[in-house]
Amino acid sequence: MKAPIVTDTTLRDGSHAVSHSFTPEYVGTVVSRLAEAKVPVIEVSHGSGLGASTIQQGFSTHSEWLLIEQAVANKKDSKIASLFVPGLGTRPEILKAAEYGVEVLRIAVHCTEADVSLQYFEQAKKSGLDTVGFLMMSHTQPAEVLAKQAKLMESYGADCVYVVDSAGALVPESVRERVARLKDSLSINVGFHAHNNLGLAIGNTVAALEAGADQIDGTLRGLGAGAGNAQTEVLVAVLKKMKIETGINLTVLMDTAEEIVAPIFKYPSVIDRDNLATGYAGVYNSFLLHVREAAEKFKLNPVAIIEELGRRHAVAGQEDWILDVALELQQKELAQKELVK
């Protein structure tokens, strides 16, 4: 089994877990440490991608361009990547990212909507960027559908396409099936991005590697949306135990996770009731903070909102649906109480 390319996405996916409050100084420190550890790719942007600092997605405390500026200044030999979601980001963000020194653009769409990414892949390639396709919510579609969508991204210029377990809903068998199908269908690299809602982020990533994945993601201490991601330091340790040498310094990663990342956690890094419900129901992980706010506002159990969003097959970009669902559930609950009277 060959060594994969590791992307650390603490400073992007982890942004969700801290309400997009990273400071430029903090980003500079973390990037410097990751670069010292020789992590090949470091992702930096708003949690939902370039241009996503909005009322719907959550406003950033600091401009992501200031964050990217600090990342580029401290990256050494690592590459800086940013996420881009069509509709949240626009072509000017791609041009600006290239100007600021971003080298890898990861273009993320719902896993049945690859066709909306064409113009953005074209722009990214014109801007000299490496390009990665992100098929979000990959648990919702069978392997053959994902392969067709990945082929579209390949034809648009993607250098790699990821199976993205946005809800932490996949299990090892379903990961192997999806990654293997993409490997059989594509002539470019295949990646895997895990979340830990079912406690399987590391196991699923290993399953992806066994199926031939070329690239994998992690975050320090697992900091990320929902129950978090596969822990970068744990992934590197597991790969070392498997005799797969990544060239990444495990000691530096462990120290950074413990001393720099652990202190900023707003919530304990555990699979609690809400996170487990999110993974089991297959609901997009970045919804969770919005769900908790709605549950408090409407005096509901968060799980009830999560389960209803799962039944409605909510996808990324439908965060405004959360309030509608919560209001409807509250009205039903009140109506039932009236009937009991």
Distance separating alpha carbons of residues 14 and 230, to the nearest angstrom: 11
Annotated ligand binding at 290? The verdict is no
Distance separating alpha carbons of residues 60 and 1, to the nearest angstrom: 40
Annotated ligand binding at 284? The verdict is yes
Annotated ligand binding at 195? The verdict is yes
Catalytic pick among 16, 20, 46, 290: 16
Nearest Cα to 130, choosing from 107, 163, 164, 96? Answer: 107
Distance separating alpha carbons of residues 140 and 167, to the nearest angstrom: 10
Distance separating alpha carbons of residues 119 and 266, to the nearest angstrom: 38
**What is the per-residue DSSP string for 56-109?**
TTB--SS-HHHHHHHHHHH-TTSEEEEEE-BTTB-HHHHHHHHHHT--EEEEEE
Q: Is 21 exposed, middle or buried (0-12, 13-18, 19+ CB in 10 A)?
A: middle
Annotated ligand binding at 13? The verdict is yes
Annotated ligand binding at 12? The verdict is yes
- Measure Cα distances from 267 to 16, 66, 195, 228, 302 in Å: 12, 26, 16, 11, 16
Active-site residue flag, 16: yes
- Measure Cα distances from 154 to 3, 133, 295 in Å: 22, 8, 41
DSSP 132: E
Distance separating alpha carbons of residues 277 and 288, to the nearest angstrom: 10
For 340, other C-beta atoms within 10 Å of its C-beta total 5
| Annotated binding-site positions for substrate | 12-13, 166, 193, 284
| Annotated binding-site positions for Mn(2+) | 13, 193, 195
| Annotated binding-site positions | 12-13, 166, 193, 195, 284
Q: List active site positions.
A: 16
